[in-house]
Amino acid sequence: MLISTHSSTVSIKGHFTGIAFNTDRDYSVLERENGTDTLSIGVEGKTPMTRRRLMTLVRTVVQEARAKRLSRIALSLEALRAVEGMDLSAVELTRLIAENAHMANYAFNVFKEKPKKGWDQLEELMLVGELDQQAKASLKLGEIVAKEVNACRDLSNTPGGDMTPTLLATRIKASAKGAAATVQVLSVKDMETLKMGAILGVARGAKEKPTFIIVEYWGGKKKDAPTVLVGKGVTFDTGGLSLKPSDYMLDMHMDMSGGAAVAHAVIAAARLKLPVNVIALIPAVENAISGESYRPGDVLRSMSGKTIDILNTDAEGRVILADALTYAKRYKPALVVDVATLTGAALVALGTKASAVLSKDDALAQKLCALGEESGDYCWQLPMWEEYKGLVKGRFGDVANIPTESGQGAGTIGGGMFLAEFADGYPWAHIDIAPRMTSDKGDHLAKGAVGAPVRMLVRLLEEESKK
């Protein structure tokens, strides 16, 4: 989709369908008056416009246009600013419009036969109104970010048979072409040399070999310590010998969404030429079932030297992340943030509206939540009190991958406490994106992956680049 700008409505009539906002209705209708087509979108007039409502409104505009098979629409910035409560700057407004319009125009149709009339997608969105150079630059920035979000969604939506650990590495390499980001892939032999026993243990039962994907972008000063983003890359999760019920296994090709997110956050930073150093680390495995699968009761020795009691093979994400968090120390990072579809408990706690954030640094957790609010990748902090440390006490190993005693609850916190055992020596936060793995009806997005939290991570890197 092309997003263009125009200073006035002159000369666009008959070529574009105009967008109007109507507080008298809660539905949309396509009207024709004086030879001009107008798509009138109903908005709730009693509730002031907020940043959140703006994002939803932009997505609604695009989805309604697609539903009515409109190819080109014109959105008046003056009409949008006239909606009660709209107080965003032009710079922030254009960025949010670009990001959310592109996200709403996305659909994963790779495996579908193309209809004779073509896909119902918007070809051009024209923003009508005066914009200075800074606002136009922000518009382009938003487009770059949105395209990386959608590329992340492509990776996550691809079925497990077409997205093995090796294929994931190949796709990430292809995505990084043209950007100043480099991609390195560690082999099984490399991981054996590094003694990554946690990753190798989880991958043991799969025919497909694991990979360890490293995406680097050095846009800052050489002396500046990098930000390291760690992403869970389980390309398909059966649950291992602790087999998942079939209903819970269906979308488990998306269990690499954290890895896709951190890769495309780094690629976005490279395309934006942010003056920051940032690394993505993605341990990629299949958690499969065979005679060689790791077992409940096994004890794995991680790269850190700590041993891990495997009490449930379906808590594999935190196990592979343990080695990645240890590897992150090599960079002497200024900050480490890991992203993972880690626990169903996060979905129970927060529903499908927000990711969970955990960190022993409350200021860092609150900063991530604030950036989530700005970007639309909403999140909520959960505690990591000392009292929860018993959740990961090992039986025969140093730490257990689930609580040794059942009925303790706090599943998401337990996952965070486990990861904290390996995230020492640097500031660290964990984002559990399981609630945001797939779209919610209220998102006004296509079915499938939503690309969380790429937008929030990009804003974090923007903040880091200002230091």
pLDDT in tens, 372-385: 999 999 999 999 99
277-333 pLDDT, tens digit per residue, is 999 999 999 999 999 999 999 999 999 999 999 999 999 999 999 999 999 999 999
Overall average pLDDT of the 97-101 stretch = 98
Q: Looking up tokens 């670009």, which residue turns up? A: 98
Instruction: Please name which of 259, 169, 160 lies closest in space to residue 211, comparing C-alpha atoms.
Output: 169
pLDDT for 8? 74
Are 74 and 9 a contacting pair, CB within 8 Å?
Answer: yes
* 20-34, 54-68, 198-212, 409-423: segment of lowest average pLDDT: 20-34
In this predicted structure, the answer to whether residue 46 has a pLDDT above a threshold of 80 is no
Residue 14 pLDDT grade (very low, low, confident, very high; cuts 50, 70, 90): low
In this predicted structure, the answer to whether residue 12 has a pLDDT above a threshold of 70 is no
Rg from Cα positions in the chain: 23
E strand or H helix that includes residue 40? strand 36-42
Overall average pLDDT of the 403-430 stretch = 95
In this predicted structure, the answer to whether residue 10 has a pLDDT above a threshold of 80 is no
184-193 pLDDT, tens digit per residue, is 999 999 999 9
pLDDT for 25? 66
Cross-strand bridge partners of residue 74: 18, 126
Pairing, β 36-42 against β 17-22:
parallel
Overall average pLDDT of the 105-117 stretch = 93
Catalytic residue from among 66, 147, 153, 318: 318
Overall average pLDDT of the 210-235 stretch = 98
Q: Is 318 a catalytic residue?
A: yes
Overall average pLDDT of the 438-450 stretch = 96
In this predicted structure, the answer to whether residue 37 has a pLDDT above a threshold of 90 is no
Q: Looking up tokens 């020596």, which residue turns up? A: 425
Rounded to whole angstroms, the Cα distance separating 86 from 76 reads 14
- pLDDT > 90 in the chain, percent: 84
In this predicted structure, the answer to whether residue 245 has a pLDDT above a threshold of 80 is yes
Pairing, β 277-287 against β 211-218:
antiparallel
Edge-to-edge strand list for the sheet holding 399-400? 299-301, 307-309, 399-400
Catalytic residue from among 244, 301, 306, 389: 244
Are 159 and 236 a contacting pair, CB within 8 Å?
Answer: no
Pick 115 or 43 by higher pLDDT.
115
pLDDT for 30? 84
- pLDDT > 70 in the chain, percent: 97
pLDDT for 150? 98
Residue 406 pLDDT grade (very low, low, confident, very high; cuts 50, 70, 90): confident
Q: What is the DSSP-derived secondary structure letter of residue 85?
A: T
pLDDT for 392? 97
Domains, in order of start, for the chain: 2-131 (3.40.220.10), 145-465 (3.40.630.10)
Tell me, what amino acid is at 419? Answer: L
In this predicted structure, the answer to whether residue 214 has a pLDDT above a threshold of 80 is yes
pLDDT for 41? 85
Q: Mean of the per-residue pLDDT values for the chain?
A: 94
pLDDT for 42? 80
3-state secondary structure of 9: coil
* 26-30, 156-160, 366-370, 426-430: segment of lowest average pLDDT: 26-30
Sign of CA dihedral 389, 391, 392, 397: positive
Beta strands in 163-306 (DSSP E): 182-186, 211-218, 227-231, 233-237, 277-287, 299-301
327-374 pLDDT, tens digit per residue, is 999 999 999 999 999 999 999 999 999 999 999 999 999 999 999 999
Overall average pLDDT of the 109-131 stretch = 92
pLDDT for 162? 97
Rounded to whole angstroms, the Cα distance separating 303 from 323 reads 5
Query: Which two tokens mark 335?
Result: 């900050």
pTM score above 0.85: yes
- Alpha-carbon distances, residue 398 vs 201, 321, 368, 408 (angstroms): 16, 16, 30, 19
E strand or H helix that includes residue 4? strand 2-6
SS3 content of the chain, % helix, strand, coil (to 5): 40, 20, 40
